[in-house]
Amino acid sequence: MVANPQEPPAPRRGTRRRPRRESPLVWWGVFAVVGVAAVLLWSWRIALLGLLLWCLYEFVLVPTICRVMTRQGYACREPVRGRLFACGERHQRVKSDALWRLAGLRNPFRPKGRDADGRAHRDTGVVVFSPSVRGRLAQADRMLILLASAGTLVALAGMVYGLA
């Protein structure tokens, strides 16, 4: 059957349309403006403010995807904001455990006797990947979280130095 060129295609049922997100180029333009202002005004305080703004962007504002592996073994492709967040409550528990492991600690807020999904430990034979494997952060996410953490520490130290 040939499509009629006068009629628009019928919308597919059962699909939801995601709202469009702003381009990351807008944010990088803001960072460039702050960087140029810091250089032109020769102000390390504005440079620290720009660094802190970039860290905030990486932690909570960058448009990215969830990337938590599901029990079936593929990565979740749901959109999220920020490298610290996941798409839902269960994925957030897995990602939170991965972030605590990145810091070299166990998650102190996880209930005893439960895995990262909030389920009691039991052997059902259907788990393809354990929560510790599923919650591994992608190398790019790991590096950017560590860089943003270091940037936040540098900005805070600079602010304390500026108060003296």
Q: Where are the domains of the chain?
A: 25-118+128-163
pLDDT above 60 (res 137) = yes
Q: What is the value of pTM for the model shown?
A: 0.71
Tokens of 135: 């919650």
pLDDT tens figures, 27-82: 999 999 999 999 999 999 999 999 999 999 999 999 888 888 877 777 889 999 99
Cα–Cα dist 85/90, whole Å: 11
| 114-136 residues labelled b (16+ CB within 10 A) or e (exposed) | ebbbeeeeeeeeeeeeebeebbb
Checking if the pLDDT of 154 tops 90, the result is yes
Mean pLDDT of 130-138: 68
Which pLDDT value is given to residue 152?
A: 94
Confidence class of residue 124 from pLDDT cuts 50, 70 and 90? Answer: very low
Query: Strands 79-81 and 63-65: what pairing?
Result: antiparallel
Q: How far apart are CA 86 and CA 72, in angstroms?
A: 17
User: Which residue has better confidence, 94 or 71?
Assistant: 94
Q: Which residues touch 133 (CB under 8 Å, ≥6 apart)?
A: 69
Residue 74 zone, left/alpha/beta (φ > 0; ψ -120 to 50; rest): beta
Widest Cα–Cα separation across the chain: 77
Query: What does the alpha-carbon distance between residue 108 and residue 22 come to, in Å, rounded to a whole number?
Result: 36
Cβ(39)–Cβ(139) below 8 Å? no
